[in-house]
Amino acid sequence: MNNKLKGAVYIAIGAASYGILATFVKFANNRGIGTAGLTFSQFLFGALLLSILSLFFSRKPENKTASIYPKLKLMLFGTSLGLTSSFYYLSIQYVPVSVAIVLLMQTIWMGVVLEFFTGRERIDKTKVTGSIIAIVGTMLAAKVFEDSVTVNFTGIGFGLLAALSYTAAIYASNKISLELPTLKRSTYLVYGGLLAVVVFWNVQLLEEFNWIVFLKWGTFLGFFGTILPPILFNKGFPETGTGFGSIIAALEIPVSVLSAYLLLNEEIKALQWGGIAVILFSVTLINLKKNKS
């Protein structure tokens, strides 16, 4: 297996891991387990395991004289991870998982906008066209054009807030404090995410968190949400390149929709699949030129 194909496999597995999270959170919600306890358990497990892994598997010994600024910067940007999960899991309380994942993927065009403001790069016609296509695909996938559907603006609002946070999280993963080892970077990003979850849910954590939830759900959500994907993405993207890697990462959308269909019996209509196909096409269009360069 060549390196590019191996990288694509890493990214595909990481995207699939992200894709199943919301389905299992809603599955747990339907059994009376609160979102605050689930989110905190996910990040607590992630922070604990990454701390252990970082302690034993860091290739270089910690430099005591090194500046703490890169770590604090990672923690600050890592808060976007905790906010992403919190907003995303709130969104699925109001809209189906198949709609929430499409809202989360608005990071497709939000990333293009962020790239313009942070990198001062000119947005070419291909990216603008791809972003417009992504928005049209979202409207189809979210069933906006169906007369029988009542639009839940609360769920849509939380979904879009999750997309904003996710855009910041992706930026942090690819741009912030790259001088630190990958495992160390992932650890401090998750520390920031855990801090954000504690501040966001505050008192509700005391009401919902218990060690049974942590052991039964937190270990699963933490492994597939805060451990596996970052490690696999950090291994995969250098091999595939950002453009091709982003196309593969879009696998998260159909995986999320299919898991919701199989576990939650959510109805997925042909129009939604058409919208998802349009979104995947927009991801390919936006990243195709980047991949060729």
Q: What is the pLDDT of residue 46?
A: 94
Segment among 24-38, 75-89, 91-105, 161-175 with least mean pLDDT: 161-175
Q: Taking a C-beta distance cutoff of 8 angstroms, is the pair 49, 222 a contact?
A: yes
The 10s digit of each residue's pLDDT in 174-194 is 778 878 887 888 899 999 999
Segment among 95-109, 143-157, 262-276 with least mean pLDDT: 143-157
> How far is it between the farthest Cα atoms of the chain?
63
Task: Provide the 10 A C-beta neighbour count for residue 2.
Answer: 8
Average pLDDT over residues 130-145: 76
First-to-last alpha carbon distance for the chain, in angstroms, is: 23
CA distance 40 to 35: 8
User: DSSP secondary-structure letter at 150?
Assistant: P
Q: What is the pLDDT of residue 28?
A: 94
pLDDT at 61 over 70: no
Q: What is the pLDDT of residue 121?
A: 60
Both structure tokens of 230: 């970052």
Both structure tokens of 240: 């595939």
CA distance 258 to 233: 22
pLDDT at 145 over 60: no
CA distance 143 to 138: 8
CA distance 292 to 106: 24
Segment among 62-66, 73-77, 120-124, 142-146 with least mean pLDDT: 62-66
User: Exposure pattern of 107-143 as b/e (b: 16+ CB <10 Å)?
Assistant: bbbbbbebeeeeeeeeeeeebeebbebbeebbebbbb
Q: What is the pLDDT of residue 157?
A: 95
Task: Provide the 10 A C-beta neighbour count for residue 3.
Answer: 11
Both structure tokens of 269: 């209509």
pLDDT at 262 over 80: yes
Q: If you average pLDDT over every residue of the chain, what do you get?
A: 84
CA distance 275 to 253: 11
Q: What is the pLDDT of residue 123?
A: 64
Q: Taking a C-beta distance cutoff of 8 angstroms, is the pair 107, 167 a contact?
A: yes
Both structure tokens of 137: 């695909």
Q: What is the pLDDT of residue 214?
A: 92
CA distance 141 to 156: 13
pLDDT at 149 over 60: no
C-alpha to C-alpha distances, 282 to 105, 121, 138, 276, nearest whole angstrom: 11, 19, 11, 10
Both structure tokens of 1: 């297996």
CA distance 86 to 34: 12
Average pLDDT over residues 119-145: 74
